Chain A
Amino acid sequence: MDLRLLRRFDPWLLAAAVGLLAYGLVMIWSAAASGNTPDDPLESPVARQLLFGLAGLGLFFLACFVDYRLFGHLAETFYAVTIALLALVLLVGDATYGARRWINFGPVPVQPSELAKLTLILTLAKIFTVHQDRIKSFRVFGLSLGAALPFLALVYAQPDLGTDLVLGAVWAGMALMAGVRLRYLLGLGVLGIAAAPLAFRYLLRDYMKERLMVFFNPMLDPLGAGYNVRQSEISVGSGGLLGRGLGQGTQTQLNFLRVQYTDFIFSVIGEELGFVGAMVLFGLFILLLFRGIRAGMLAPDDFGRLVATGIVVQIFVQAFINIGANSRLLPVTGIPLPLISYGGSSLLTTLMSLGLLESIIMRHKRLEFD
């Protein structure tokens, strides 16, 4: 372990991550204030999130002191384990809200689709790096798509369309960064649009269509499928410029807003801390993402650059889709807001990804001659 590496450690990246983590903890604490407190304080969502956060920071430091290139060697292992877990979750997973997304390992529920995001990033980075010399070939394009497809299919089977969207975006972002022919991507895009009616007919499950319908008109079923959409919109809107104050949001505290620790945590922020609170959150995300981009720019090799790209795209797309769904801009797809939403799997993999970014920064070329 080379301690000199520490001098290149990017404190801003860590600060942004810890800031977001703390922000999320405060909001979970506020949202949980009105609920029933469990007998065991360690069972409370805040305590659990804090524990996962600390464990995640452990993973973060572990990842930054390991040479990120090691993850390239481990890509196949990651790939195999992830595929196995994704298959397992379909067989033995716990169903919530009609989807199988969790496996219970003891008391800790594991969400393999979170791991799938990181695995896909590593796998694609490796494929694109290995085939850098023939990057413009259709073969490499097809290979990368072929590597992503099993993930997309297994996640779709859960069903979890939101994660598929993120995985797709990550693949497209990384492919563009790697230098795949734009033509292929555009062609695929055109094909996708042409197939959209068929996809709507055969690929979208009923609940997905319902979500789409209520996105366009929540009053179709204000107490049913449209309820969450409607209530999150009201929560965010009623926050106004400065918010109702921590612990003061009536939508949150009186439970009109549901799943408030996870998918709709941003609505809690919107209601209790208002527009200003949301802008602070945006600032932290932009800082985090820009430090991630910096890692990509400093990366000494294609692999590092691509990994950084994947991670940045993943976090950005997740944040955008989640906040968009919380503010009536996008339909609800049910993906967590990175570092903010309650949930161990997401927190652990996100912090580990950020550790990877640190690892890339700490090993960038120019400083090797210091």
Chain B
Amino acid sequence: MLGLLRRDRRWKPEKRPAPVNPARQARLKFRALQGIIILGFLVLAVQLWKLQVVMGDYYRTLADNNRLRLVPVPAPRGVIYDARGNLLVRNIPSFSVAVMPADLPRDRQPEVVRRLARILNMPAAEISQKIDERRRQDPFSPVAIKDNVDQKTAFIVEENHESLPGVQVQVRAIRQYLEGPLMAHILGFIGRIDAEEYAELRPQGYHLNDQLGKQGIEASYERALRGRPGREEVVVDASGRKVEVLQREDPVPGNNLVLSIDLELQRVVYQALKATMGRSDHAAAVVVNPKTGEILAMVAIPDYDNNLFSTGIGTREWEQLLEDPRRPLVNAAIGGAWAPGSTFKLVTGAAGLQEGIVTAGTVIYSPGYIRIQNEVNPAVPFIFRDWAALGALNFRRALAMSSNVYFGCVAGGCPDQRVRGLGIDRLAEYAHRFGFGEKAGIDLPGEVEGTVPSNDWYRRVRGEPAYLGDVYNAGIGQGEVTVTPLQLAMATAAVANGGKLLKPQLVREIKDAEGRTVWRLEPVVRREVGVRPEYLELIRAGMRDGVTSGIVTVVNIPGVAVAGKTGTAEWGPINARRYHGWFTGFAPYDDPEIVVTVFHELSQGGSFTAAPAARQIFEFYFGRKRG
């Protein structure tokens, strides 16, 4: 460098002697340079020919793959009405922020996630994790980062789309359940499809971001409510934003449901149950039409607010619901089974009559207890108590007064009164005929079967057949027998309607979006119970007597003839003096329109808590009818 600077003072190029033959040499070199330039552009031209002309179509396809996308257009989910046309659930718009991993360049992800975390006010790590997970699964399917963001946030994200590549604001419909807890057990809720469901339902056109019914009617009528999603072929830009719609296949909206539930009645049942359940952990009530099997009201407590699931339930709320020992997500009317107590005498009585164990005129004397030979140790007699010394009773009176001795004898036999007894297996067979020990088949998920013990059952569970004491207990709905409130309601309906065991149904009608009926409820007879009509007539008469002059007089209301049976079943540790309270009955007596079944887990007795609740229900129903 210094050398250069020093020589600079002699810098006079124009006076330098010309080098030896420089022009010719230089000319040659320039020719060579020309050659190199031509060669260079020739190489480039050949490469371009290859890319553009030879492989042009291939790259054209790649360019189209970049910009053209098939996007599913979700179908509006069907809505649900009650029997009188009240809307129970509707769709309302909600904004959610999602990221399509394919549109978010990996090197920009940290920066975009930071920005998004600030806008959405959530941890960046959580956002990154969601994006990374979806990137592995299916980078072309957007993953929801946050649901139910407010309109302002949605607007901010939309405004900044240039600096948020791959981030989309999606408008989606969420479910608004207008009655919340009142209808939660029936309607259920919807939620995001999980991995297992997706694997199963993918062939039916479900997408990774779809919602589907998880509980209740939403789950059992998923197919009807969902409709068929449409598709759009759209042009997107590099950040995944829709620029133009090329083709659209419109979605088919889901069908609407009309329930058999009567919202007004449901509300009354709910209030009656809450008012009478005391300190019970669980309570349930079912009102059913004994002619059709339609459920007019069904309430189970504890309950929950299904709107929580629409607005994106928080982890804490969700854990609270799951960890609550009372299990509020379980519909106690179908998902819990308890000893039915004396309400089970309907079954014992029907079996006794049909099997000729007793007749209408068979009189059994109840001194307040009976003494039974102990099979294991004949020296120690087994004492089976009645609730009072009821004296001499015929069948009808025994039912009206709910004599334990009478129905204990029917089940287990009383040799000193010349009654032979059904035995546990025949009792179990009739219980099955009335629908106990099996799911009633209601159109809701989560039903349980309850327990109807038989000799086989005892052998399986205990290793030996039933003792005589078990048989007496089973005859009056104590011991190992358990039933769901819904099962008892359907059995009562069978008594009321002359022997048809119906399938309980919640949906009266399915209509398409234009209002055309596509399906209408038909009563489904599960079976004839196989008890002669005059015997059922006798049982109904006994139930009616119970209301007019027996132990259920609390439901003896003016203007309508109610027939009913209460039940009080001991439970928990021996001598804890804890009781379940039951009522099951129907009205009007001569042409039954409704069956009402009420259950309280903790009660001083069915007559004291369950029957008064039933009274409010009957009063409302028939009071409204009279206008």
B-contacting residues of A (Cβ < 8 Å)?
Answer: 36, 69, 72-73, 76, 126-127, 129-132, 143, 146-147, 173, 176-177, 179, 221, 223-225, 227, 231, 233-241, 250-251, 254-256, 258, 270-271, 274-275, 278-279, 282, 285-286, 289-290, 293, 296-297, 300-303, 305, 309, 312-313, 316, 320, 323-324, 327-329
Cβ contacts B1-42/A at 8 Å (1 or 0 each)? 101110110110110100100100111011001101110110
List B contacts of A313 (CB < 8 A).
33
List B contacts of A327 (CB < 8 A).
44, 47-48, 51
**Contact in complex: B52, A130 (CB < 8 Å):** no
In the complex, A80 Cα to B340 Cα: how many Å? 103
**Is B115 in contact with chain A by the CB < 8 A criterion?**
no
**Contact in complex: A286, B8 (CB < 8 Å):** no
**Is B162 in contact with chain A by the CB < 8 A criterion?**
yes
List A contacts of B139 (CB < 8 A).
223
Q: How near does chain A come to B500, taking the closest CB pair, in angstroms?
A: 65
List B contacts of A250 (CB < 8 A).
63-64, 66-67, 235
**Contact in complex: B238, A254 (CB < 8 Å):** yes
- Binding site secondary structure of chain A: helix
**Contact in complex: B66, A143 (CB < 8 Å):** no
List B contacts of A279 (CB < 8 A).
45
- Known contacts: A177-B29, A238-B63, A296-B30. The answer to whether A329 contacts B44 by CB under 8 A is yes
In the complex, A313 Cα to B32 Cα: how many Å? 12
Q: Which of A129, A173, A290, A323 contacts B34 (CB 8 A)?
A: A290
* Interface magnitude class on chain B: 35 or more
Offer 23 A-B interface pairs, CB within 8 angstroms, sorted by A.
A69-B14, A73-B11, A126-B11, A130-B7, A143-B4, A176-B29, A177-B26, A179-B25, A233-B51, A250-B63, A255-B239, A258-B238, A282-B44, A286-B41, A293-B34, A301-B14, A301-B16, A302-B19, A305-B26, A309-B33, A320-B41, A327-B48, A329-B44
Cβ contacts B594-619/A at 8 Å (1 or 0 each)? 00000000000000000000000000
Q: Which of A132, A224, A293 contacts B19 (CB 8 A)?
A: A132
**Contact in complex: B11, A72 (CB < 8 Å):** yes
Q: How near does chain A come to B69, taking the closest CB pair, in angstroms?
A: 11
List B contacts of A237 (CB < 8 A).
51-52, 55-56, 58-60, 62
**Contact in complex: B48, A324 (CB < 8 Å):** no
Residue of A nearest to B60 (CB): A238
List B contacts of A235 (CB < 8 A).
63
In the complex, A234 Cα to B455 Cα: how many Å? 78
- Known contacts: A147-B1, A289-B37. The answer to whether A275 contacts B49 by CB under 8 A is yes
Q: Which of A147, A238, A241, A278 contacts B59 (CB 8 A)?
A: A238
List B contacts of A293 (CB < 8 A).
30, 33-34, 37
A-contacting residues of B (Cβ < 8 Å)?
Answer: 1, 3-5, 7-8, 10-11, 13-14, 16, 19, 22, 25-27, 29-30, 33-34, 36-38, 40-41, 43-45, 47-49, 51-53, 55-60, 62-64, 66-67, 102, 104-107, 139, 162, 235-239, 243
Q: Which of A240, A251, A278, A301 contacts B56 (CB 8 A)?
A: A240
List B contacts of A234 (CB < 8 A).
59, 62-63, 66
- Known contacts: A176-B29, A256-B67. The answer to whether A328 contacts B40 by CB under 8 A is no
In the complex, A153 Cα to B375 Cα: how many Å? 107
Residue of A nearest to B41 (CB): A282
Q: How near does chain B come to A222, taking the closest CB pair, in angstroms?
A: 9
**Contact in complex: A297, B11 (CB < 8 Å):** no
In the complex, A129 Cα to B27 Cα: how many Å? 17
4 closest A-B pairs by CB: A237-B59, A240-B56, A238-B63, A255-B238
In the complex, A74 Cα to B604 Cα: how many Å? 112
List A contacts of B13 (CB < 8 A).
69, 72, 129, 301-303
In the complex, A279 Cα to B46 Cα: how many Å? 11
Residue of B nearest to A256 (CB): B238
Q: Which of B4, B27, B107, B162 contacts A130 (CB 8 A)?
A: B4
Q: How near does chain B come to A250, taking the closest CB pair, in angstroms?
A: 5
**Contact in complex: B45, A282 (CB < 8 Å):** yes
In the complex, A235 Cα to B66 Cα: how many Å? 11
Residue of B nearest to A225 (CB): B107
**Contact in complex: A241, B53 (CB < 8 Å):** yes
**Contact in complex: B33, A324 (CB < 8 Å):** no
In the complex, A290 Cα to B53 Cα: how many Å? 28
**Contact in complex: B44, A254 (CB < 8 Å):** no
List B contacts of A131 (CB < 8 A).
7
Residue of A nearest to B44 (CB): A323
Residue of B nearest to A230 (CB): B62
**Contact in complex: A328, B41 (CB < 8 Å):** no
List A contacts of B45 (CB < 8 A).
278-279, 282
Q: Which of B8, B53, B66 contacts A240 (CB 8 A)?
A: B53
- Known contacts: A275-B53, A282-B41, A316-B37. The answer to whether A238 contacts B243 by CB under 8 A is no
In the complex, A73 Cα to B60 Cα: how many Å? 54
List A contacts of B106 (CB < 8 A).
221, 223-224
In the complex, A286 Cα to B37 Cα: how many Å? 8
In the complex, A82 Cα to B386 Cα: how many Å? 114
In the complex, A111 Cα to B3 Cα: how many Å? 29
